[in-house]
Amino acid sequence: MTAAERSANAAHPAVSDFIARGYHVFGGGVDPAAASALLAKIRALRTFDADLFLSEAEFDADPQYIGVNPAPGRNLLERFEDDLAFVEKDPAIVEAVTALLGDDYEILLKKLICGVPASVVPDWLKARIAGNPVNNLGAYVRPPFRDITYFYGIDFHQDLIDYKDREADFLTLYIYLHDVGTHDAPLFLLEDSHKLGGTLFPHDLTKNAAQNGETGWLYRDGRGHEVQTRQHLLTGKTGYAAMWHACTLHGTQPDAADNERLSLRYLIARKPGVAAPGMDAVNATLLGPLSLEATRKDLDARGAAQIKANSVNKA
């Protein structure tokens, strides 16, 4: 990369947005027709109904909380590599990600996320998970269907949560495969929350009013710093695309609609040994650490929830 190219990358709106607020929205999104075509293929393979779930007796006979998410060889998106070009080769996305992460960035993970509608979650399961900060339903889903990540709400968190001891040198890219409104489990994102760097989950948040009377949260890092954030709701049409820093807080409430919410989630990182002046510029503005030895305290040794607390449900 030449000096001129590095300068251009540093001035890219994605870099300035990450510095200023911790995320970037792609105004034009990605190709909605391609997103709809992929969605149709996915729905032809999977019915998102109550048959996804184990019975209470089946679960209690052999509870498993670890190793229930998509993994290499068990990831529905592996069937659709060619269909994902509308995201991975989209010029605006390539340009923005390159500005932040440099040339030859790498995809750490890509998977399909399903916000499961309340109407299909068994009553016994709703009672068991009520109030949990992270309702990843993989443990309760039948093994053949664990090639997708299923959520029934997740409290405000950083994507650093899954990467202890790793530097925040990656970002999350999110694509809605259909229209997502306020009742479709859209993501809530807290502007400026990245500024405190990595903090332990569950996070210290107090709901209040941000500037102009909008909903906000006072966020404390436990190290003597705090920041006033503004709550931003990510809603949009088919092909909506946004990306955020690994330390930006975000979450979802349970899906209140009749249909599932299906989205693509990418984790994208700088390639080892490759300069990433855009992300370096962002990280230089953060008050807190870029990595954590421990990222969460909500799980017991089995991986089951041991804390009942959830802020995003008050959003």
CATH hierarchy code of domain 3-314: 2.60.120.620
pLDDT confidence of residue 1: 47
167-221 pLDDT, tens digit per residue, is 999 999 999 999 999 999 999 999 999 999 999 999 999 999 766 778 899 999 9
What secondary structure, in 3-state letters, does 206-233 show? EEEECHHHCEEEEEECCCCCEEEEEEEE
For the chain, the domains span 3-314
Cβ neighbours for 128, distance < 8 A, ≥ 6 positions apart = none
pLDDT confidence of residue 10: 62
What is the distance between the alpha carbons of residues 15 and 17, in angstroms, rounded to a whole number? 5
pLDDT confidence of residue 304: 85
pLDDT confidence of residue 4: 45
Amino acid occupying residue 156: F
pTM of the model: 0.94
* Bridge partners, residue 71, by sequence: 74
pLDDT confidence of residue 3: 45
Strand runs (DSSP E) across 58-169, as ranges?
106-115, 134-136, 149-157
pLDDT confidence of residue 258: 83
pLDDT confidence of residue 209: 78
208-259 pLDDT, tens digit per residue, is 976 677 889 999 999 999 999 999 999 999 999 999 999 999 999 998 888 9
What is the distance between the alpha carbons of residues 77 and 83, in angstroms, rounded to a whole number? 9
Flag residues of the chain having pLDDT under 70: 1-10, 210-211
pLDDT confidence of residue 60: 96
Asked if residues 266 and 101 have their Cβ atoms less than 8 Å apart, the reply is no
What is the distance between the alpha carbons of residues 314 and 40, in angstroms, rounded to a whole number? 33
What is the distance between the alpha carbons of residues 308 and 24, in angstroms, rounded to a whole number? 32
